[in-house]
Amino acid sequence: MAAQTRTRPYISSRFVLELDDSGSSQYMGTLQTIEGGTFKSEPLEEKVGGNGAVIKYPGRPKFEDVTIQVGMTMAPRFWRWLAKSFSYDAQRVDGSLVALDFDNRERWRRRFSNALIREVTFPTLDGAAKEPAYLTVKFAVESLKEEQSGSNQYPGEQQYKDEWERQRMWLPSMFTFKVDGISKDPAETCKIDGFTIKQEIIENPIGKFLENNKEPGRVEFPNLAVTILQRDAGPWMKWWDALVREGKHVLSQQHTGHIWFLPRDAVGSGQLQSKPLLTLDLFGVTILGLGPVKHDSKQLQLQKVKLDLACERIDLKGGEGTV
């Protein structure tokens, strides 16, 4: 009796993102995690006959949003996709999520089309952080398909444009923050709490299509919670007094700001002596409040102040330090 061939299970330890460009898929970088992308539909019920029988069948196909975690090594095309979403010029993209085994061979491929960015979450930036952190990106898709794997062989992370080394270039402790005309020394920012930029996605069902079209809506920019040293709080207090206490709601009281994500080889914490991996430019920044961080007489700690800032727009620029 001939032996039966058995397909062995496999472990996927590496995931990559590909985006279409000029008719071909282009490698964007390695992903840390992939969540979502579920294929589903809502059941439709039809009551027939006199015996109470209920017929059930699936309705329109629905595809759950895909959530990925990425580092700072993604290709420039990826950062441009995010940047356009922030500037009300949302770009639909087609691409694939690919899982590789330990030999870097393709094992499965999920093809998506007309993807729109829904959320981008930036991790907490903390001068005391010691562990790596990643950006979380959620995008909505109009269509999602499981395609047969092509068993393609991919280069190892260590071989692909020095990706492994570049990924290790950033820690959440390597950042600077500045508000033009207010901050004296951007190197003295202690912490920026994590924040999320959201774009509304509007469902647009059309009669002759089973799969819903999706349209981009408003972009929601979050408030920022920034922690600085108490000794540097003077200019911020004067700004709050003028803007809030005295009610001077004039254009001159709005400022621009910047958050720079720096590589590890930056000389000195917060010193812009290396090209930033990523830059966020903040526009229409205003101060909403400020107050001391909890004081505890039982602990020896530097006195700090937490700022509550609002901004009207955030622009993203991928730096030259990325792939």
pLDDT, position 296? 72
The SS3 assignment for 83 reads helix
DSSP notation for 207-272? TT-SSPEEEEEEEEPPPEEEEEEGGG-HHHHHHHIIIIIS----GGG-EEEEEEE--TTSSSTT--
pLDDT, position 112? 93
What is the Cβ-side half-sphere exposure of residue 271, based on CA atoms within 13 angstroms? 6
Query: Mean pLDDT per segment of 10 residues, for the chain of length 323 residues?
Result: 62 82 80 88 80 80 91 86 91 90 81 94 89 90 83 62 61 88 75 94 81 89 93 91 90 90 66 76 94 76 89 85 48
pLDDT, position 130? 81
pLDDT, position 238? 93
pLDDT, position 11? 66
pLDDT, position 4? 62
pTM of this prediction? 0.85
pLDDT, position 273? 63
Q: For residue range 180-228, what is the model confidence (pLDDT) as tens digits?
A: 989 876 557 889 999 999 999 998 877 777 778 889 999 999 999 999 9
pLDDT, position 321? 46
pLDDT, position 270? 46
Q: For residue range 65-99, what is the model confidence (pLDDT) as tens digits?
A: 999 999 887 888 899 999 999 988 999 999 999 88
Separation of alpha carbons 293 and 227, rounded Å: 8
- Residues 172/133, Cβ–Cβ less than 8 Å: yes
